[in-house]
Chains A and B, each alone.
Chain A
Amino acid sequence: MLLLLLALPLALGEYWAFQLGLFFLYAIAALGVALCWGQAGFLPLGQALFVGLAAYLSGAALIQWGEAWWVFLLLPFAAIAAGALAFLLGLIIFRGRSESGPYFAIITLAIALLAFQVANSWNAVTGGYNGMKAIPGLPGLEGFSDVYYLAAVALACAVALCGWLVQAPLGTLWRAIALNERRVAYFGYDTAMLKAIAFGLSGVLAGIAGALYAPQQGLVTPELVGFALSADLVIWVAVGGRKRVLGPVLGAVLVGILSAELRERTYYWDLIVAAVFVFVVLYAPGGIGALLAPLERLLPGRRKALEPLRAPASKAPRSAVTLAIDGVSAAAGEVRILDRLSLAVARPGIYCLIGPNGAGKTSTFNMLTGELRAQAGEVRLDGDILSKPTPYRLARRGVGRKFQIPSVFGELSIDENLRIAVWSARTSLLDWLRPATRRWDTPVMAALRGRYPFLDDGGRLASALSHGERQVLELSMALITEPRLLLLDEPCAGLSSEETAQVREVIRWARDTLGLSVVIIEHDMALVKQLAEHVFVLHQGRLLAEGDVAAIRSDPRVHEVYVGAAE
């Protein structure tokens, strides 16, 4: 492979060295698009902006200081500037809106179009419509084959970087975000930051392509910033395969070069590319890269078991939690959901939240985690008023949640699911890059593996688990974060009586070993009777009654809302 790359320009001549060099650069930018789209699940539709920015910067530097050898030292800054812009834009956009659907794509497209307008009209700096001309080549590099080797080395480095990122914990977190961003936030991750890092890195890759494009072509026009390249990058990534590291490279080099050659000869080439693109979107999301799967299986696998490594202690506070909800009201449109609700969790233990449908049980959880905005009243966690809570901030303070419908990351393995929980509130940016982080283990995790043997079958995909196993996996993940307050929404829904008994045991065990407070929404009164140390009864958004099970059972008001008043 390496020899082939080295020999190509000698065998094919200057023209091909030039063309291949150019498409190697495009492949670097395409790798960035794949990082965002294939890994983190959001599609940048204006990636040419970063290619163009770095190309203009690098062109300007070369025109100014093109003779000096140290101009090489300036080129990385062009790429870093593009990456910094991408990171900042990403952070601003993702903080403003947490979703990463089509709107993000359109925003990036609009920004790229805006940049085209700037490049096209700012004559003094960019050269306007005619572009920045007569950019000298890099000092010391003669001819197209030298530049070809530089592009090939840059591409190899970019592939290695992406391959490593995809394997690193960061890659797992990105894929988890693509599957269920809300759930990742509930594990205490700043998902906007994680996505902005992906976008920033894609900006750096686009910037490397741009910084080398300027000396390779000797000319930078506003076309480079515009729509066409952004569009081509997305097509190459889609056709090449966005999920595999080599997919975008295949796409850019194969489709790109074929296009450049055949576009002139057959009118219909672009029609074929468009049709192939639509076909890939509809039926073959893996692209050409999916054809590599059988080859990958031939490679010697690194299947040896990883030696577990004791994870550092959680950075979330460890002391027992106190929670006080005081007179909170919330509404959705005209409907009043919570009506001056007050309740308090003062010491560790198992609390059950019961009430008829529509009483506001799940809404209470949503209000606590900030998904339902409280219009009046206040919530105190450890005595501090919670203003503008978010799932991420609450998780950081030791509040975990398990949803009613088990939400695990279906397309990740059991191991990856568990790791996301272990890393919660324990990792820093550096840990996200270190492969050793994948081996982290904790006593809680080991204990849960002991209770539930299926968790040891780590290579299985979570989507292959039964409903009951998924319930258990999500509960385990919530417990592995070692929360101080755990909100459980019907943890035993859909479980057999045997499985229910096991979950009951686990909850008791967790209370004893972790000293945590558990609030459980539960309809199954038998389970409430067995588990609850304290029961809150909600009715029409208000606390109707509270006390131990016996007190609740004898309370006439509770009977009234459940079975109607005795006339």
Chain B
Amino acid sequence: MSDIVLDIQDLTISLPKGADRPSAVTGMNLTLRAGEVTCLIGESGSGKSLAARAVLGLLPAPRVRVTSGRILFEGQNLATIAPRDMAKIRGARIGMIFQEPMTALNPLHRIGRQIEEVFRIHTTLGRAERRARVVKLLADVHLPDPEKIARSYPHQLSGGQRQRAMIAMALALEPKLLIADEPTTALDVTTQAQILHLIHELQREHGTAVLFITHDFGVVADIADQVAVLQKGVLVESGPRDAVLNEPQHPYTKALLAAVPRLVVPDRPATEPGLVVLEAIDVAKSYAARGLFVRGRATRALDHVSVQLHRGETLGLVGESGSGKSTLARAMTRLLGIDSGDIILEGEAITHLAPRAMRPHRRRIQMVFQDPYASLDPRQRVADIIAEGPIIHGVAAKEAQARARRLLGLVGLDPSAADRYPHEFSGGQRQRIGIARALALEPDVLVADEPVSALDVSVQAQVLDLLADIKAKLGISMLFVTHDLRVALLICDRIAVMRHGSIVEIGPAAQIFSAPSHPYTKALFDAVPGAAWSAHMPVPAE
């Protein structure tokens, strides 16, 4: 067929000795056609990013390299092409965008200069012409005031704006192929929807073939024409989007799809609202940029927020980055000082307690953090990590250690894990350890700050199950911070939607879902990737 842009044949990428498997990608076959978006989906470590980088010859050679197979593009085999010829293709015939718009641009160069660089490398255009093209490109990706953006440095733009600039740069010379490596993963959900829309629009306009790397089936549902599923370096299933999403053939695809949180409220018995355990009354917090002589503008992180957490309920704090959801959670645990307002724990104001007076209350509110890699002390054994809290609060060391082992059983880990160190565990297992640590103090309130957002979907589902299970078993209350509405619906009884430091809407999960009253809540639901697909998706039979 003549419209084939990229033909990957039997591609194998080897990993250095000592890696968990001999090759990152094994015998992969994939064909990309002009005007189509092909999504390569897989969990972390599946080799999807390396496969994409192999196309552009960006593997971290010589440790990781293509050992066999061909990558055919415009009659050339990119797997064996000379570096000099490869450089001519990069940026001109194949463009690429990356996951982290924060770091993918040189922080010291202006946006305009970085885009202009593409023209300087590949064309003989004059200075004025290059400048004009840059401004036009920035306008094409719908950036406001392109002249000003061109003069800006990366740190002066938002994440979404930077990603638009990256797209402008990748598409500068109208390449035949665009490789997008998780381009929306680091963005807020409404920004993600806009960027997906933009990629779709530009790709249709120019007939570009797109290789889109993602881990999110919602994104696949929104943007893909073709889907290829990668499991530990092996392509297990590929085909048109609807076929793969609605009638998956391979057990791995089925399992992945089953783990995707649906945009529905699961049937579950309504919890009887108990007494108020933890309450924030009119809490305000702002961050002022202040110097000795200069007074900066204050950023209002919490704008007089009041919220109540009842015994035995899970309250979700949902919002985009900068909405104040994490700030509120931290303020309610008194990990963060507040400017005004009150925090009440079971009828007692803890707002102004001195550190010493606060200490006995600390036990009653425990946190689970987002990053399972950074939140456990790497030099302590798991048993010591879990037992440390109880020992501080006066439990005998022996008793605390025994309790730690019981807790490991409760969170679904083998008690033998107690004698090992955190680095020996996977992300999901570490998050279980984190939960066990929080539970060791027998808290009344568990505050979970994005506890699953760093995890793969299948692991995410397991950890969410565990949290729901523990809540039911122990009857504790949970404050659940998340940016993901799907996750919030799955686990929360009530949801508070936050924006600009205020709660714009609060109510039972079912009501927020079926009848959102605030326009922002509606916008959030609309922006959830794969919203339409998710709603109609039949729940696969187990």
Asked if chains A and B come from one complex, the reply is no
Which residues of B line the A interface, CB within 8 A?
Answer: none
Which residues of A line the B interface, CB within 8 A?
Answer: none
